[in-house]
Chains A and B, each alone.
Chain A
Amino acid sequence: MSSWRNCNCQQCRIRGLMGPALLITIGVLFLIGEYSAYSFGQLAPIILIVIGVILVAKALASSEGHVGP
């Protein structure tokens, strides 16, 4: 079981955002790919940027009150 699921510290909360944020990003990109001149393949690097932003936010957040290893 992943440790971040049962911890309430800021770092672990932000870590929990990763999945939903990626799903939303991919969904939005597919929509944009369908209805604009840009294709999904062209916009895919935005996924990397979103992962990067979340990792940085996680690294910047406090881990006070972290539970688990």
Chain B
Amino acid sequence: MTPPYARRRSSIFGGLLLILVGFLFLIHNLAPGLLHLGHVVRYWPVLLILWGLARLWDYSAARRSGQSAPRTVSGTDLLLILLVLVGVAALVAYDRIHHNMDWQRGFNLFTNSYSFTTTLPTEPVEPSMRIKLSTPRGDINVHPQSSSGLSVVVTKTVHAPSRNEAQKIADATTVSVQRSAAGVEINPRIREGGSEAVSYDASVFPKTSLLASTGHGEVHVTGIQGEISLDAAGHVDVSQTGSNATVNLRRGDAHIHGIDGNVTVNGRGEQLDIGEIRGRVSINGEFYGPIRVLRADKGVSFNSRRTSLAVSAPLGRLDMDSSRLVLSDTPGNVSLETREKDIHFENVQGAVQIFNRNGTVEVRYSLPPRHNIDITNHAGNINLVLPSGSAFSITAVARSGEISSDFRAPSLKVVNQSSSSVLNGTLGSGGPKISLNTTYGTIHIRRAPPAPPVPPPPPPSPKPATGIRN
């Protein structure tokens, strides 16, 4: 019999690495947009530190138990680190390619999918009634009809090994229609634990309001005049509606065009494409991007963990992704607080307030600014482009950086101190206050090339017959 002896300890590094990678992937999955390639590039040396600490611990543990010290650099550890880096890079690359990948489908290897379509009897509805369509799984499609009724075509999709079994399951899946004075409510009854999808294709009297909710699936709504509120996990498409629209997204994209009211988008997901909005656009949540807003007549507010943006007046264009934010054409005030983004503002006529870190900030004016500009950046440049003939009073401070200015006047002085550069003074009279602050970056104040005067933004054009994208 072999005498009991203490075998050599395994290193704690492998385990720690797996925990770290697991958490990273979990964050990646549950909070899309919080992690991106930049983080991997920036923070990979943390792996080396972790490796060193683990080795230190292994060494002291071995000494304590009286064994010989383990080798410092083991091939297994190196291989592990390499594998993790390759894995993370592959994941990021895969994400880029399969942006709209759908995790929910799948696991249908041994069954076929069968669809059964039934038409519900047409319900009479009054104007201002509320129509509620819900399903735990399935798509919802709503379009207007001229008569004052509600007709719904129900499609049940069943996964089963054979048509007979599918038919049984479909027969057991019923759809209930409940009427009240306030409106009509349509709900499916699905067997316990069933994964059947119940989709609706509804023709609705347009003067009603609509509530549509699906646990897994897409929602398409067009032509409704009342308020709409949608819950979806998948693609959402809303166009040509007459009142406020609220979209709660759990994943997927949203295309929202031609809304005569306010638009609110909450939750998390990927791409947002919003345009031709008569009201205000509010976006709250974590959206992976790209996010685009074209023409929001009452301004925009955007709030995520990383970014808060408020535009007080009609906005021409907003383009945003994880590393970039471009905003142009608004007569209103803009305030923005974010980090790790390159920011570009063009033709903002109101006051500008920007806080950023680790990215550049560029603000361009084609007309002399009339309201205050306040930009604070950290570890990044600030570029301010002003037309000749601008009047302003300026305070610019670049800590551990430099200031260069195309505007030269006796009343403008650049003072270079040991580690910082300061510009103070006024140009012309009656101009707004400009305050620029950065650390570890350069402030460029440039003169815009002379350009023909920009015409004022055109008045809101009449609503086009179709959205930019349907």
CA distance A64 to B5 in the complex (A): 7
Closest CB-CB distance, A65 to chain B, in whole Å? 5
Out of B9, B24, B215, name the residue touching A59 (CB < 8 Å).
Answer: B9
Question: B43: CB under 8 A from chain A?
Answer: no
Question: A24: CB under 8 A from chain B?
Answer: no
Closest CB-CB distance, B128 to chain A, in whole Å? 32
Chain A interface residue count, CB cutoff 8 Å, equals 35
Residues of B within 8 A of A16 (CB): none
CA distance A45 to B103 in the complex (A): 14
Q: Are the C-beta atoms of B4 and A42 separated by less than 8 Å?
A: no
CA distance A51 to B4 in the complex (A): 27
Within 8 A of A (CB), among B368-415: none
Residues of A within 8 A of B46 (CB): none
**Interface of A, helix, strand, loop or mixed by DSSP:** helix
Question: A1: CB under 8 A from chain B?
Answer: no
Q: Are the C-beta atoms of A54 and B15 separated by less than 8 Å?
A: yes
Residues of B within 8 A of A40 (CB): 103
Q: Are the C-beta atoms of B22 and A52 separated by less than 8 Å?
A: yes
Q: Are the C-beta atoms of A39 and B2 separated by less than 8 Å?
A: no
Known contacts A39-B104, A45-B23, A66-B6: A55-B30 contact under CB 8 Å: no
Out of B4, B26, B103, name the residue touching A46 (CB < 8 Å).
Answer: B26
Residues of B within 8 A of A34 (CB): 193
Closest CB-CB distance, A42 to chain B, in whole Å? 4
CA distance A37 to B269 in the complex (A): 13
Question: A68: CB under 8 A from chain B?
Answer: yes
Residues of B within 8 A of A65 (CB): 4
Q: Are the C-beta atoms of A49 and B26 separated by less than 8 Å?
A: yes
Out of A48, A57, A64, name the residue touching B6 (CB < 8 Å).
Answer: A64
Q: Are the C-beta atoms of A42 and B16 separated by less than 8 Å?
A: no
Q: Are the C-beta atoms of A39 and B12 separated by less than 8 Å?
A: no
Q: Are the C-beta atoms of B11 and A59 separated by less than 8 Å?
A: yes
Question: A13: CB under 8 A from chain B?
Answer: no
Residues of A within 8 A of B26 (CB): 43, 45-46, 49
Question: A53: CB under 8 A from chain B?
Answer: yes
CA distance A39 to B10 in the complex (A): 34
Q: Are the C-beta atoms of B12 and A37 separated by less than 8 Å?
A: no
Chain A interface residues (CB < 8 Å from chain B)? 9, 11, 34, 37-60, 62-69
Chain B interface residues (CB < 8 Å from chain A)? 2, 4-7, 9-12, 14-26, 28-30, 103-104, 193, 215, 233, 250
Provide a sorted-by-A list of 12 A–B residue pairs whose CB atoms are within 8 angstroms: A11-B9, A42-B29, A45-B21, A45-B26, A47-B22, A48-B21, A48-B25, A49-B22, A51-B15, A57-B15, A58-B10, A59-B15
